[in-house]
Structure 1
Amino acid sequence: MYTELAVALGLGAVVALVILKKKKGVLKAQDGWWGVGAHPQEPEDDSVRPFTIEATPEDIEDLHRRLDQTRSFPSLEDSQFHYGFNSKYLEKVVSYWRNEFNWRKQVDILNRYPHFKTKIEGIDIHYVHVKPKNLPEGTRAVPLMMVHGWPGSFYEFYGIIPLLTEPASPDDITFEVICPSIPGYGFSEPPHKKGFDSLCAAHIFNKLMKRLGFSQFYVQGGDWGWLITTNMAQLEANTVKGLHVNFAPPAKPGLLMVLSILLGRRFPKLFSFTDHDVKRLFPCMEKVVVDAVKESGYMHIQSTKPDTVGRGLNDSPVGLAAYILEKFSTWTDPEFKNLEDGGLERKFSLDDLLTNVMIYWTSRSIISSMRFYKENFGKGLNQPHAKLPVYVPTGVASFPNEVMHTPKLWVTQKYRQLKTYTSMARGGHFAAMEEPQLLAEDIQNFVKIVEKRKRK
């Protein structure tokens, strides 16, 4: 026992020295051209144009026709969500979608906030831009970009936007919120050329914020939004004032991380592991492998042949809903697999869930959204940005039901100016949509620390 402890302490000291001696790397991105054809000679139109989402009669009639013609297939007895989306509950979702869901009403809700488009590097970038209505005299709003992931959309943030732009407490920071759609998602134009990865998206979003007049700003994200905002901070360390994420997968394993894996169960305090860390990190190895295989099939498909399965989802609204909403079940709480309805309505309303699906359906963006996996994973896991630490002040909200758990020790290996690491009381992967109040409070606390404001 004492020998293991001595070895752990000795290797830990070596790792610390190695980390201290490392020099800060620099991440760079080049301008690209993602539009159709060759890059034109004339300067790009950098105007910002208002955009309105529409519910056309043609879209609604086409949707209803396809829903009417869907072919059902029974689930196995007593299979709940273990084989994927349960067919019995899917029939309920389809019936609600066809007979009660009001797309026109939901479009009015979507248009409640101002939408815009602007062309950057050859493609139209869509974003929601919400300014505070009642800014206290003598104060300025803090600009915050919030970036979604897959299979989410900008709509994930509709519950948290008013909490940030119109905070209840006068001691809270008032934010000006910008929520873009990742290129190829929702109403942002998809790239027309190969190679558009997270670094390209980060470069475009940094350009977007500068175009909107922000010399410094904060960024926040989960899922792909975590990687894009992390890349934004790596590219523009002097522009991105602070980075807040609610998803932070482990960085490339170093000696300290390996040691914590080998010895953390036996010496949790040595690595500052909490009971939750131990519970999430040290089940039997067989369970770790099996669970990873069960929940990563979509990733293998989308990282290799996204267009094939994507074509089927682009044609079938029921297939699209099943594919997307299954993730809203399992990634919100893994125990929901044991329920026939997947627990979907325990955390979300069908109106909200189907509105997110409709954003993919009406924009026909499921194929281009899935390609983002191939563009990122197709280049391998050893990309330059994966090797570089982040030196921008960072806050992490660790939700207990997140699909991948990263203890504070591992987070600090990547994010060298970690200001806050919060073990959240409840919630899963779609934090902004599921627990907007908790996430808003954590963002407030983090930004107050960076801004050096007194907390009460």
Structure 2
Amino acid sequence: MQRVQFLKDSFTGLDAFHKQIVIGTGVATGIALVYILHRRRQKVQTIPLGEGWWGAGDKPRSEDESINSFEVQTSDDEIKDLHERIDKTRYADPLENSTFQYGFNSTYLKSVASYWRHEFDWKKQVAMLNKYPHFKTKIEGIDVHFIHVRPTTHKNLKVVPLMLVHGWPGSFFEFYKILPLLTENHNGLTFEVICPSIPGYGFSEAPHKQGFNSLAAARIFLKLMERLGFSQFYLQGGDFGSLITINMAQMKPQCVKGLHLNMFSSRRGLKVMMSILIGSYLPFLVGLSREDVRRLFPFFEKNVWEILRETGYMHIQATKPDTAGCGVNDSPVGLAAYILEKFSTATNMEYRNLADGGLERKFSLDDLLTNIMIYWTTGSIVSSMRFYKENFKGYLDKRVDLRMKVFVPTGLVAFPMELMHCPKSWAQNRFTNIVSYTFMPRGGHFAAFEEPRLFATDVIQFVKKLEKL
């Protein structure tokens, strides 16, 4: 009691100014303690795994869980049919000086088709695809394709399992340039890499039933990693791969040692709204860096109008994919125009102003056409487009995974030409444990395909931080 009375007397003896300091300090300390307690009590939420069956017909009592080797194949008949279809293509004349503003310029499209018909060697590319081991295994009724690349040597090395997940209109082939980089010795660290094809894409079987979305894909890929014997592993994703790997981390955070993303978004909130309103004038007040300001503003031009200009395909695929898919599934040149236009504008929006869409500035025609051939030979363009409809059904705000935070250690890499920029201060609304955030000097949406060395280096540094190497 004497100590309490002493404190009262001491406070009474202070002048008004010092009383305000004492009160302010007390309030600040109280707020800090409440925040710390809140963080400590913040429970890691998880999404229920659920269950599914995507095979034809009814679910059997048991499922074959064997893992079988797979080899990409082709035939003279397949190539002959392709050439005949290319030869019969009907082209529309482009508008004068229209570049890529109206979509894929048909003058340049004729050049691409000519190369495809007379110079592109699909048999050679098939041999290249088979340089890494391919496998298939049946999960929830459908065959899941993946490549599994082990390091050439792992003596005295820490071998870390890593799953890389592609998006649309990409494929597992996007990662071929970074595989040799990841499986090297990085001062005692190397990677064992698993690259699956999303069901309905490439060599993975398409779901036979409605409802197959990112949550179903995440569950299947978790089962794949478990079947391969991995209890803990790292994940990397962009585009749909980002959504799938985030869902994997939300379902089984105890299995995910780290999540690396090259496309990510934040949850809406006061911080985001304030950043949009005053970020270009007073960035330091809302946690934006100079680079954030440069990439974000003018906000509506870069993040609203540009997105509206470039996402017409998304609205079509999210509503009537089977209708839109008929033509491109039947015409190889139509398929090439539809997919390659995305590799133009998603790499750099300014490429719309070029007659050739800037496609060969970052990619070779052999690489681009190999990705096209994965869609063409498997007839998977329609089933890949359906993934949009399944993921955008109903109101997105009702999806539990989009409202739930991500608790696993996360590495974020921001490429300057990505379709949308998400500052670290925004990302913290969703990702609670950001271990690294990197501004890349160049590169766009197809980061691993465009800038393999930059991409691989960031994955390596992120894992090294977590492995303390």
Does TM, scored on the shorter chain, surpass 0.5? Answer: yes
2: CA distance, partners of 1:127 / 1:17: 43
TM-score computed with the length of structure 1 as normaliser: 0.93
- Show the counterpart of 1:303: 318
Mean CA deviation greater in 68-77 or 262-271: 262-271
Choose from 157, 179, 184 the match for 1:166.
184
Gaps of 5+ in 2: 1-27
2: CA distance, partners of 1:18 / 1:107: 57
Deviation at residue 399 of structure 1 after TM alignment: 0.3
Q: Is the 8 A contact 2:45 2:250 kept in 1?
A: no
Q: Is the 8 A contact 2:159 2:189 kept in 1?
A: yes
Question: Are residues 1:182 and 2:198 paired?
Answer: yes
Question: Are residues 1:99 and 2:118 paired?
Answer: yes
Percentage identity across paired residues of the two chains:
59
2: CA distance, partners of 1:289 / 1:226: 21
Alignment of 1:97-176 (within 5 A): 97-135=116-154, 137-167=155-185, 169=186, 171=187, 173-176=189-192
Alignment of 1:39-58 (within 5 A): 39-41=59-61, 43-58=62-77
Deviation readout 1:26-75 (Å, 9 max, x if unpaired): 2112120000011112x100000000000111211110010000011111
2: CA distance, partners of 1:324 / 1:162: 26
**Larger Cα-atom Rg:** 2
Choose from 410, 430, 433 the match for 1:417.
433
Deviation at residue 138 of structure 1 after TM alignment: 2.9
Deviation readout 1:166-196 (Å, 9 max, x if unpaired): 24x4x15200000000000000000000000
Deviation readout 1:171-227 (Å, 9 max, x if unpaired): 152000000000000000000000000010000000000100001000001100000
2: CA distance, partners of 1:280 / 1:16: 31
Pick closer, same or farther for the CA change 1:357–1:261 going to 2, 3 Å: same
Pick closer, same or farther for the CA change 1:18–1:405 going to 2, 3 Å: farther
2: CA distance, partners of 1:406 / 1:17: 26
Gaps of 5+ in 1: 1-9
2: CA distance, partners of 1:38 / 1:331: 40
Pick closer, same or farther for the CA change 1:161–1:287 going to 2, 3 Å: closer
- Show the counterpart of 2:86: 67
Aligned length: 437
Q: Is the 8 A contact 1:241 1:393 kept in 2?
A: yes
- Show the counterpart of 2:208: 192
Deviation at residue 380 of structure 1 after TM alignment: 2.3
Computed over aligned residues only, the root mean square deviation of the Cα atoms, in angstroms, reads 1.8
Deviation readout 1:368-421 (Å, 9 max, x if unpaired): 000000000113212000011111000011000001110111111111110000
- Show the counterpart of 1:366: 381
Structure 1 residue ranges, 4+ long, deviating more than 6 angstroms after superposition: 13-19
Q: What amino acid is aligned across from residue 47 of structure 1 in structure 2? A: S
Alignment of 1:222-241 (within 5 A): 222-241=238-257
Q: Is the 8 A contact 1:324 1:357 kept in 2?
A: yes
- Show the counterpart of 2:229: 213
Deviation readout 1:4-36 (Å, 9 max, x if unpaired): xxxxxx9xx899799847543221121200000
- Show the counterpart of 1:30: 50
1: CA distance, partners of 2:188 / 2:289: 30
Deviation readout 1:274-311 (Å, 9 max, x if unpaired): 22321332216366443222111000000000000111
Q: What amino acid is aligned across from residue 319 of structure 1 in structure 2? A: G
Deviation at residue 452 of structure 1 after TM alignment: 1.4
1: CA distance, partners of 2:88 / 2:406: 51
Deviation readout 1:319-375 (Å, 9 max, x if unpaired): 100000000010001111110011100100000000000000000000000000000
Q: Is the 8 A contact 2:303 2:420 kept in 1?
A: no
- Show the counterpart of 1:243: 259
Q: Is the 8 A contact 1:146 1:220 kept in 2?
A: yes
1: CA distance, partners of 2:306 / 2:38: 33
Pick closer, same or farther for the CA change 1:288–1:132 going to 2, 3 Å: closer
Q: What amino acid is aligned across from residue 194 of structure 2 in structure 1? A: I
Deviation at residue 140 of structure 1 after TM alignment: 3.5
1: CA distance, partners of 2:458 / 2:417: 17
